[in-house]
Amino acid sequence: MTNTLQFPLAAVVAADELKLALCLAAIDPAIGGVLIEGPRGMAKSTLARGVAELLPGGHFVTLPLGASEERIVGTLDLDAALGEGRAQFSPGLLAKADDGVLYVDEVNLLPDHLVDLLLDVAASGVNHIERDGISHNHKARFVLIGTMNPEEGELRPQLLDRFGLNVVLGSQPQPAERAEIVRRRLAFDADPLAFLQRWAEPQSVLQQRCIVAREQLALIALDDATLDEIARRCFAAGVDGLRADLVWLRAARAHAAWRGAGQIAAEDIDAVEHFALLHRRRHSPPPAAQPPQSPPAASPQTGQAGAGEGQWGELPALPVPMGAQRELPRWPKKP
C-alpha cells in the first residue's frame, strides 16, 4: 500500500518529461508501462511512488529481484480444487498491484522470463494462471514502472521494446534546481505532515486532472488520420514490428485527454514521439523504400546510419517537442 507520508509528485523539482510520461501511463495503463533509465540518485523511485496517488486504488507494490514466479502470479491450491470442486487461489503481487503501481527497481537484473511475464500482464490487464489443467484469471490493471542503470547491464532488445514508453534521465539538474531539490527534501524529512499540507492543493489539482483525463479517454477516437501519420513516422524511423505504432497511438490519445481535448491533434502526436521511439528507433529503412522527407538513409559505403542516428540521446530527426512541455501542469515552485 502507498505510504500516507509519501513525497508528493507535485513537489518534485524539474523532471517534467518523466512526470509527463508517468501521468500518461496513469491515464491509460494499456500503454504498457514506463521504463526509466538513469544513474543512481535521480529520484526515480520517488517519482514512481508518486504515481500511485494518481491512480484509483493508490497501491504501490514493489517487486523484489529475488521474487519467484509463484509469488508474482499467485498460486492455485490443487487439493482444494479436487476436494471442493473449485480452485483456491492465493493472490500474488500482480493481484495486489491491481489499480495501482507495480514497481521493479533494477528491472534489467530481473530474469528475462519474469520481465516477459510482467509485460504480458501489464499490456493485457489480466493475469492467467494454469496448473495441471486448472486455470484462474483475475484482473491486474496496473502501471508497470521499471527503473535501470544502463551501466549495470542492459535489457534484451526484445524486452526493451515491450515497455510502452521510455525516458532516459541523462542531464544533471542546474545548480538552482539542485538546491531546491535538497531544500524540499529537508523540509519533508523535518516535518512530513506540514510539508504535505503545504503541497496538498497542487497535488489535488494533479490528481483531479488525471481523473478527468481517464474519464475523457474513451470519448477520444483513435482516428485514421492520426494512425496514418504515426505509421508514416514509424516507417521513417525504421522501427521493428508494429508495437511502436500502437503505443504511440495510445499515448497520443492519453496526451489529448491530459490536455482536456476532444480529439487527437498534431501536438499530441509530437509530444509523445520521443517516449515511444527512443528505445525502438534502431535503423533506417532501405533508402529506396523511404518516403519523402524521411531521416537520413544509411551510407552505402559504410552501411552505418547518418550522424547521430540510433544512438541514445542523439535523435536529431526526433526532437522532444516544446509543445510537450507547454502542456504540462504548472509544477509549482512553492505553494
Domain co-membership, 159 together with 285: no
Same domain, 252 and 136: no
Q: Count the domains in the chain.
A: 2
In a domain, residue 56? The reply is yes
We report the CATH number of the domain holding residue 279 as 1.10.8.80
β-strands 60-62, 75-77: how paired? unpaired
In a domain, 217, yes or no: no
| Known catalytic membership, residue 253 | no
Same domain, 172 and 76: yes
pTM over 0.75, yes/no = yes
The residues facing 166 across adjacent strands are 35
Beta strand spans in 155-294 (E) = 165-168
Please check whether residues 149 and 93 belong to one and the same domain.
yes
For residue 332, is it within any domain? no
Same domain, 237 and 314: yes
State CA 309 to chain mean position distance.
24
pLDDT at 4 (0 to 100): 63
Domain-embedded: residue 202: no
What distance in Å separates the CA atoms of residue 153 and residue 141, rounded to the nearest whole number? 28
Tens-digit pLDDT profile for the chain (335 aa)?
A: 444 688 999 999 888 899 999 999 999 998 989 999 988 777 788 888 889 989 988 889 999 989 999 999 998 876 665 666 566 888 999 999 999 999 999 999 999 899 989 988 988 889 998 887 778 899 999 999 999 988 888 888 878 888 999 999 877 788 999 999 999 999 999 999 999 999 999 999 999 999 999 999 999 999 999 999 999 999 999 998 899 999 999 999 999 999 999 999 999 999 999 999 999 876 444 444 444 444 444 433 333 333 322 222 222 233 333 333 333 344 444 45
The verdict on residue 4 lying in a domain is no
Parallel/antiparallel/unpaired status of strands 126-131 and 34-37: unpaired
Say if residue 108 is in the same domain as residue 237: no
Q: 183 lies in a domain?
A: no
**H-helix or E-strand spanning residue 159:** helix 157-162
Determine whether 176 is exposed, middle or buried from the number of CB atoms within 10 Å of its CB (0-12, 13-18, 19+).
exposed
**From 243, 253, 259, 281, active-site residue:** 243
Q: Within 10 Å of residue 19's Cβ, how many Cβ atoms? A: 21
**Residue appearing with cell numbers 508518486:** 50
236 plus 158 within the same structural domain: no
95 shares its domain with 234: no
Q: Is residue 40 part of a domain?
A: yes
Closest C-alpha to 13, from 55, 53, 46, 54: 46
Helix axes 224-237, 243-259, angle to 10 degrees: 130
Range of the domain at 135: 9-178
Q: Which cell is 104 given? A: 521493479
Beta strands (DSSP E) in 152-205 are 165-168
pLDDT of residue 294: 44
Domain boundary (160, 178, 196) is at 178
Residue 121 lies in a domain: yes
Q: Are residues 118 and 232 in the same domain?
A: no
pLDDT value of position 159: 81
Co-location of 22 and 167 in the same domain: yes
Q: Is 159 left (phi over 0), alpha (psi -120 to 50) or beta?
A: alpha
240/126 same-domain check: no
Whether 163 and 231 map to the same domain: the answer is: no
How far is C-alpha 166 from the chain's CA centre? 7
- CATH number at 99 reads 3.40.50.300
- Which among 115, 113, 137, 117 has a CA at the least distance from the CA of 127? 137
pLDDT at residue number 329:
40
Q: 243-259 and 200-217 are packed helices; what angle lies between their axes, rounded to 10 degrees? A: 120
Count of helix runs (H) and strand runs (E) in the chain: 14, 9
Report the greatest alpha carbon distance in the chain: 71
d(CA 136, CA 138): 7
